[in-house]
Amino acid sequence: MLHVNPNISRISVSAASSMTAKARELADKGIKVVSLSTGEPDFDTPQHIVDAAIRAARGGDTHYPPLDGTRALKEAVRRKFARENHVDYDLNEIMVGNGAKQIIFNALMATLAPGNEVIVPVPCYASYADMTRSVGGNPVLLSCGQNNGFRLRPEDLEGAITPRTRWLILNMPNNPTGTVYSRADLEAIGEVVERHPQMWVMTDDIYEHLTYSDTPFFTMAEAVPQLKDRVLTINGCSKGYAMTGWRVGYCGGPKSLIDQMLKVQSQVSSGICTMSQAAAVAALNGPQDIVGTWREIYRQRRDLVVSMLAKVPQLSCHRPDGAFYAFPNVAGCLGKTTAGGQKLQTDADVSLALLAEQHVSTVHGTAFGMSGYIRLSYATDMESLKTACERIQTFCAALH
């Protein structure tokens, strides 16, 4: 009999991965599925980044890497934080991990005792809560409604803090809503955090370069510099540089925290692939024009998706200011029956019926902590997006 760690019994497999797998099953049967469930750029990694990895491999950079990252990459990260975020970190305050996701896990594993709490504004990337549970902590899911642009209100944060609170996790631009916080928003949140010295802030800035409004991007340590010693600033190369498969995440934070996180990493994975680190150096130090080019393409895709969803009476879609997701409210679909005879009671029913009847793969909002919504990724070509939105329109028009 297998004895499972009780903490692992509290978590589940990613809903996005599950829906993507279902879409692949249909595609393997020859069905033309439009998959909008995966949060991954559809662009190839720029050639100069690939070339840097090839040079590293051919040059013999194939041995065990330093636990915290190569000096070249840590220096590149240091310059990036100073250049783009106006935050200065010493090299011993920077570490590299296997994607931003490992950085987050390292931090939670290193700091949480059983019963400690992590405040997670929702909707959110589901792994924040599950990673907290996996190390014995308790996620406190704090609802952020569409009527406030899915933003965390300082008064709600104040009400959720207890003596057991250890972290507030902020993700901006947000997955799944695309919400971007202004400097004033962060300052107001920072005022609350300052009053509670037992809690720190973890910022997941992985979509930093994908913003579309006139509101400039700020990270917490930049907007509220007096909190820098209680902030872990997390980023990576996956989204901005189309490097999801290279698995490069990095962070800056107090040395006392980084030291503990490195203990975790030393026992879980050790350092990350040397060729990937060479590629990340090229990404951070090299030309940045491709980032702006892709951002404009994403903006056009966003505008197409939002405009087409706006024509569907049963849907209400908040206009995302960043990332590459739309998060329409599907409450108008619930209680109705599809053309195929499926009664829609939940947002999961909507996602499953869309896949089964119109072959459009999405992720239900409950997976992100907020029911009554679905998430669509517009990180795919315009033709596919147009086809998907037309199928969604057809699906909703047939509801009765």
Q: Tell me the C-alpha distance between 71 and 85, whole Å.
A: 20
Is position 168 within any domain? yes
Give the chain's domain count: 2
Q: Residue 80 sits in a domain of what CATH number?
A: 3.40.640.10
Is position 87 within any domain? yes
51/40 same-domain check: no
pLDDT at 24: 84
231/122 same-domain check: yes
Q: Are strands 231-236 and 249-252 parallel, antiparallel or unpaired?
A: antiparallel
Nearest to 112 by CA among 227, 260, 254: 260
Is position 1 within any domain? no
Low-confidence stretches of the chain (pLDDT < 70) are none
Residue 265 CB neighbour total at 10 angstroms: 23
Is position 26 within any domain? yes
123/26 same-domain check: no
Q: Tell me the C-alpha distance between 114 and 226, whole Å.
A: 29
DSSP E strand boundaries for the chain: 34-35, 94-97, 117-122, 138-143, 165-171, 200-204, 231-236, 249-252, 325-326, 360-361, 363-364, 374-377
Is position 240 within any domain? yes
Instruction: Answer with the one of 285, 311, 340 that is the final residue of a domain.
Output: 285
Instruction: Answer with the one of 250, 285, 320 that is the final residue of a domain.
Output: 285
254/387 same-domain check: no
pLDDT at 19: 81
Domain extent, residue 362, equals: 6-44+290-397
Q: Residue 32 sits in a domain of what CATH number?
A: 3.90.1150.10
32/174 same-domain check: no
pLDDT at 1: 86
Report pLDDT digits (tens) over 240-278. 999 999 999 999 999 999 999 999 999 999 999 999 999
Is position 219 within any domain? yes
Is position 53 within any domain? yes
262/357 same-domain check: no
40/84 same-domain check: no
203/255 same-domain check: yes
28/126 same-domain check: no
247/231 same-domain check: yes
138/259 same-domain check: yes
39/70 same-domain check: no
Is position 177 within any domain? yes
Instruction: Answer with the one of 285, 313, 333 that is the final residue of a domain.
Output: 285
